[in-house]
Structure 1
Amino acid sequence: MIGGFVMNDINGYSIIRTLGAGNFGTTYEVEKNGMSFALKLIRENILDKEAVNSKRVEREINLLKSITHNSVVKYVDDGFISDGIQKYRYIVMEYVEGETLEALIDRKTLSVSEACFLVRNIYSGIQAIHDSNIIHRDLKPSNIIVTNDSLEIKILDFGISKLIDASTLTTTGQGMGTFAYMAPEQLRSAKDIDFRADYYSAGAILYELISGEKPLKMNNQLEAINKILNERPEPLASKIPSVPIEISELVDILLKKQPFERNASFDDIVLLLEKYKKPDVRTTPKITKIYFNPNIEFLPMVIQNDAKAVVEYNNSHSINGAIFNAPQLLHSDKNYQELVQSNVRLIVDPYTQTLGYSAFTTKPTYKKIPYLVSALRKETPKDFLNNSSLQQRVKKVIDLQEHYNATILLSPYHFLEDNRDEWLNVDYNAYKEGKSYLKSAGINKPLYYGISFEIGEFEDINYIKELVNLVTSANPDGYYLQISGNFDTTNSNHYLSYAYLVKMLAESKKEIILSRVNDFSLGLIALGANTVSAGLGQSDNFKKEYLEREQGGGTTRRYYVEKLMGLFNQNILDDVLSTNAGKNCICRCDFCLGSSNTNQLYEFNNVIKHHVFVKNKQMLELSLLQPAGKMNKFLSNVEGAIQLTKEINKEKRIKNFGHSHLEVWRDVILEVSKSKLSEASHM
């Protein structure tokens, strides 16, 4: 019976029996040409009207029908019917014999090995769905059929919730999915979710299979919403001590409140579940993932005329790598090519962030960039509304970096004026296109996600959290940060936002390159960053005004003083070294050789080579330390710099020579290191 009328046939599919009814419609067993199918009937008035009008429903259903996997039910047909009053959309899928996982849970308890095997199959199935850019959105035991005693499964109803108008469900008290398995972000915004929502749901299922209980106990909708958003489930290991600690930790990660905290990749999850599907495995230390580059490194940002000095340094001492920019290489790549022969890590910044500002049109070298939208005007997000335009941009940007044999590739990125900047979505889509292009072109290199913005516009930690959730949903191979701000002032909010950005991104266990930042970077390393890049004797801060500056031209080189944690001009260093306390700042590196003659110290090549030498030594020392050791080292350096500055100023009052900013560095890094990310938004 449909809509009050008896209907035995739906466009050639004979109805055998009703299989069930749920949020999205009624499902029937049907038969056609001697074959059995399952047919889901959905009232057209609960479909997303915008999707229906734009024909998106047809596109989405065709995409669903294209998915083929052993653990996913196959969609085979779709169409429309009407009972004279109500219109319906139907979707036909293969008929699967078996029982729902919900029924299986009710009648028996699974061993840890059985639970791991079954959930491994769930993850394999949802990965096939995700590979087609579809999110299930309603993964729960009643939408999973266990097909045999071997615990093989079929996932049902994937992608259908995206076609439904959410208001038609919430007005009747129904949520998008069953609360017990619903990711927190689905309560915040049903549209702004990604694959990690399904990872959460599968993690909740694993929790229930092993413990016999749902992760959170909830008696009503209001309580459910509060607990999903705020309450942490009791760890499996404390509930059932015999559970392998790695499995307990995996479930804990999968049930994190913020998507960026669910940092286990598909490969990590499946590998671990494969391991424990065998019953005789012992527990081992906790899950750890390494960065693409596990070392702490300094990569000089080669600017203007210092490339030759960097090559000379590499020939005598060696560098870990370097960062060049595309306009610079298009002008001259002689020194870059010498470094290519040394087999060091090389990055070519495509400088797409500069192309959103008209100042680039005054610079002849920039006009040689092969991926310009126009040499006569700045580019805007509207230039990339067409997918083919975006694909061409991505291809040309990557091809240029490949031409120079860059070790790490950067996706095109732009400077974000605020948290609603249209470049956000353009850059996100560019990264996804970049990964697709690398795969199709057979290029096996990591692609990093560039992030650049004005820190003053992201002082609200919730903005940082939203940004991180978006960026990490692209599953980047690493991150390249170029943040605009004054990081030698006492504006603690700026430091706080930057520190939280790094700490949140560090949850993904990918390399974080800090570009153009001063020794505040040492605190950020203690929070999880692991590569620093800065100009030599200059460019230890990045500011938006650099993008708007029509004429180039470098600033006067300054000398890096490790014990004072900063760059200083010659007048200040003269004053510093004239004091007894300041004698502690004398450098005995291979280039300074203990000299206090500032004319010698500020000689062009010495400033550069000294800077590289000291930073390389600094990073090597940090590489040998555990996280707690990195934090202690940073705090010790800051306290030492503060005390030394006080002693120098006691002997001789020096203008523009203080330590207040160092105290802010210390306080911010300490606070962020101790904070829980789930509580960051309350600041």
Structure 2
Amino acid sequence: MNIVGKVINGYLFEEALGSGSFGAVYRVSKGKTTYAAKVLAETYILEEFKSEQNRITREIDVLKNVKGKNLIKYQEDFYFKNEFGVIEYVIVMEYFEGRTLRSYLRRDIDLDTLISVFVSVLQGVRELHNTIIENEGIIHRDLKPDNIMIDDELNVKIIDYGLSKIIDFSSITSTGTQIGSPLYMAPEQLRDSKHIDYRADIYALGIILYEMLTQNIPYKATTLPELLLKILNDPIIPPRQYNSSISDGLENIIFKATAKEPFARFQTIDEFIEAFSKKNIAEELVTVGKYYAWVYREKDVTEQFENTNSADIIYPIHVQNWMKKLHQHFADNNFENVIIDPSTQRLSYFAFGSTKGLVDLPYAPKKGVISLEYLQNPQKRKEYIESWYATVSMGRKLILPYHYISNTDYPVDKVDEWIKMNIQLIDESSKVVENGKQKYAMISIGLGHLVFQSDKILSFFVHADVNGFIVQVSDMKQLNEQSLGSYLEFVLNLQKYTNKPVIALKVPIPLGFALIAKGVHGFSLGLASIDYFDEQYIKEEKDSFNLYSKFYFPQVLSFLTYPKKDTFAFEQIYNYFGCCDCEWCKGKSAIEIGTGDKGVQLHHWQLMLDEVEKFNQFEGEARVEYFKKRVDDALKNLDSIPREIMGSQKNTDYYKLLKNLKKII
């Protein structure tokens, strides 16, 4: 029906401005004032809501109460009967001379202007959220570039708030509907559009910001069902893939706003706005490589080493009661440069009951384990977090509570739930940590899940409110060329997308150096005999003691192992490569070095620091080239070892790892 040129209820309908599946918008005038009128078909509304017509009245009441410079103002509403006898419903609003944000984005606009416009959009949505009706703020529900207007002076107006609750999600899922509003709908809104909160608007704003800065959408989909599945399950395409000029900080804002879980997003518009006032357009993180010693029982070694060196340490808190002197040593130094690991992941396995230090932790369960179901209980989770912080609060650097994501005591389909629970623990525990303390998020996961779900894991963790990340991966002995590449890419992307330091925990030495060469902040491994993390060690509480010792040889970038009681084997290989002149080996015979665990551990610690310092003398590609040369030299040196000394080295884990690193670095 054409109503242009007609006067209805005193309004002259001058021009049709646009139309949609539920009605049309017109420019109208009354006296000397111009307005915008949205005409909705009464039959459409009744079909959508059936017996819920009273909701329309409530939503119009919302429009009447909204005030704000970035919001279109309500004028009035009325019904009329068209020429076919069909009742039409009209909502008259302020007329704003401008264009939609979608139309505006077709121009060539600089980054600063785009951000300024977007902050104005945020301010408009804040005005909406701060308008209280029946003790609740208003949720827009249908934010998209078509519902944002902008004029030539860059004034911004938000339109269509209040109407999207009238036009329910069911109206956009019919056959043949084009991809439109669903793109901006949060996952929880797709599942249940009537029970959402402010954070659904925050998600939509994140998608809008993505579109503004990239001129692209964050999912590749050709049909509506495909798009909906991607919104529910897939991470967004990193914005920098489309626009490399976007800073890491700005990209991180987008990642946080578009997180799948509401609790992982900005919780308020004020928090969203604040992100732009921080140093969010930060330059890429410049890292100085670091080695972190995993100190478990080595009290004497630690004290002796720290007499002459400044060391960075990761310390599992459960040893505090049976290594009291070690704990006191850290306390005497105010836990300087010590990251405290809460040992929480071990509490999810029944075997923890055989380790007294774990049983004595105040947050250890009195019976059973810390299960997924246990953590899903809000009250138990709250008590768990409070008890954790009371135990570790003396520290200055804290790993937040975490659990092994690939827990094999659970079906494989529970992995996503473990991921989400770890994110929730990070979110809730970070809020109880006092200002001035550094917070680290641990990602503890199986190699297979990391390889095949790396994008999903990144999408969950990149927005965490922490100072850094620690990555611990099980099954590292199974590294092949493909999985090694996936691991390296994951760690590098985690640091890149968050602009926060990442520490790779319990990795073999050559891989640690490869990470340092590529710009990752740090790596860590223990001073004792086990080089890798494996779930079996915490599932079965295997003792790390074995009958072999290890000694780091820089000539091969690796440990070489030998039987503890066979000093002759060590003496042969030690003499083959020449004596070590580090301060812990200098002046000692091979037999003296090979028969003392403490001396070997001090040597290892010292050489890790020395090696990392050598890498730090190079920058960028020069550091990578230095690593490549070291790998080539190491392979040649391993090949050169006479069989009568240590047999063939070509079947060892280190040899295979070096060969694979040479291929992918």
> Does the CA contact (< 8 Å) of 1:482 and 1:542 recur in 2?
yes
> Against the structure 1 CA distance between its residues 545 and 139, is the aligned structure 2 distance closer, same or farther, given a 3 Å change threshold?
same
Cα deviation digits, residues 321-375 of structure 1 (max 9, x gap) = 2111121014344323433444632111111111111011122222211112x23
* Aligned residue number for residue 4 of structure 2: none
Name the SS for the 1:479 alignment partner: strand
Aligned length: 586
Distance in structure 2 (CA, Å) of the matches to 1:126 and 1:327: 47
Choose 1 or 2 for highest CA Rg. Answer: 2
Map of 2:618 onto structure 1: 625
Match of 1:480 in 2: 470
Once the two structures are superposed, the pairs formed by residues 532-571 of structure 1 within 5 Å of their partners are: 532-550=523-541, 552=543, 554-555=545-546, 557-571=549-563
- Distance in 2 between residues matched to 1:617 and 1:458, nearest whole Å: 34
Pairing partner for 1:433 from 425, 428, 431: 428
Q: Does 1:503 align with 2:495?
A: no
Q: Distance in 1 between matches of 2:137 and 2:533?
A: 36
User: Paired residue for 2:572, among 578, 587, 591?
Assistant: 578
The 3-state SS of whatever aligns with 1:316 is coil
Cα gap change, 1:617 to 1:452, in 2 (>3 Å) = same
Find 1:639's aligned residue among 627, 632, 635: 632
Give matches, 1:77-476, under 5 Å: 99-102=98-101, 105=104, 114-122=113-121, 139-146=143-150, 149=153, 151-154=155-158, 165=169, 168-169=172-173, 171-177=175-181, 198-206=205-213, 246=245, 270=276, 288-290=283-285, 294-304=287-297, 306-319=298-311, 321-342=312-333, 344-372=336-364, 374-402=365-393, 404-417=394-407, 418=412, 420-421=414-415, 422-438=417-433, 442-455=434-447, 457-458=448-449, 461-474=451-464, 476=466
Offset of residue 637 of structure 1: 2.0
Deviation of 1:107 (Å): 11
Deviates more, 1:631-640 or 1:107-116: 107-116
Aligned counterparts, 1:18-97, within 5 A: 22=20, 73=71
Per the alignment, residue 133 of structure 2 pairs with none
Q: Which residue number in structure 1 is paired with residue 597 of structure 2?
A: 604
**What secondary structure sits across from 1:458 in the alignment?**
helix
C-alpha displacement of 1:178: 7.8
Task: Specify the code of the residue in structure 1 equivalent to 2:611.
Answer: Q
CA 1:106–1:449 in structure 2 vs 1: closer, same or farther (change >3 Å)? closer
Instruction: Please say if residues 129 and 139 of structure 2, whose CA atoms lie closer than 8 Å, have aligned partners that are also in contact.
Output: yes
How many angstroms apart in 2 are the aligned matches of 1:234 and 1:323?
35
Q: Deviations over 1:294-340 (max 9, x none)?
A: 32111211112x12311221122221x21111210143443234334
**Consecutive unaligned residues in structure 1, runs of 5 or more:** 2-7, 30-35, 77-89, 209-213, 237-244, 276-286, 674-683
| Distance in 1, Cα, partners of 2:92 & 2:577 | 77
Give the letter for the 1:452 counterpart: S
Give the counterpart letter for 1:395 in structure 2: E
Change beyond 3 A, Cα 1:602–1:160: farther
CA contact (8 A) 2:471 2:502 kept: yes
Contact 1:69 1:125 (8 Å CA) reproduced: no
Q: Secondary structure at the match of 1:558?
A: strand
Distance change >3 Å, CA 25–CA 471, structure 1 → 2 = farther
Deviations 1:442-498 (A, max 9, x none): 43333222111222x327x341222222222435432112211243x6644443442
For 2:332 and 2:357, the matched residues in 1 are separated by: 25
- Match for 1:354: what amino acid? R
* Structure 1 letter corresponding to 2:521: N
> Structure 2: which 5+ runs fail to align?
2-7, 28-34, 75-88, 131-135, 260-270
- Whole-Å Cα distance in 2 between the matches of residues 671 and 126 of structure 1? 51
Question: C-alpha distance in 1, partners of 2:11/2:482?
Answer: 64
How well do the aligned residues superpose, as a CA RMSD in angstroms?
5.7
TM-score (structure 1 length as normaliser): 0.68
Alignment check: 8 A CA contact 2:631 2:658 kept: yes
Q: For residues 568 and 127 of structure 1, do their structure 2 counterparts lie closer, same or farther at Cα, with a shift above 3 Å needed?
A: farther
Q: CA deviation at 1:589?
A: 0.5
Aligned mates of 2:382, 2:249 — CA distance in 1: 36
Taking structure 2 as the reference length, the TM-score comes to: 0.70
Contact 1:537 1:560 in 2 (8 A): no
CA change 1:669–1:558 in 2 (3 A) is: closer
User: Does the C-alpha gap of structure 1 residues 69 and 607 become closer, same or farther in structure 2, counting only changes over 3 Å?
Assistant: farther
Which residue type is aligned with residue 173 of structure 1?
A: T
SS at match of 2:347: helix
Contact 1:642 1:659 in 2 (8 A): no
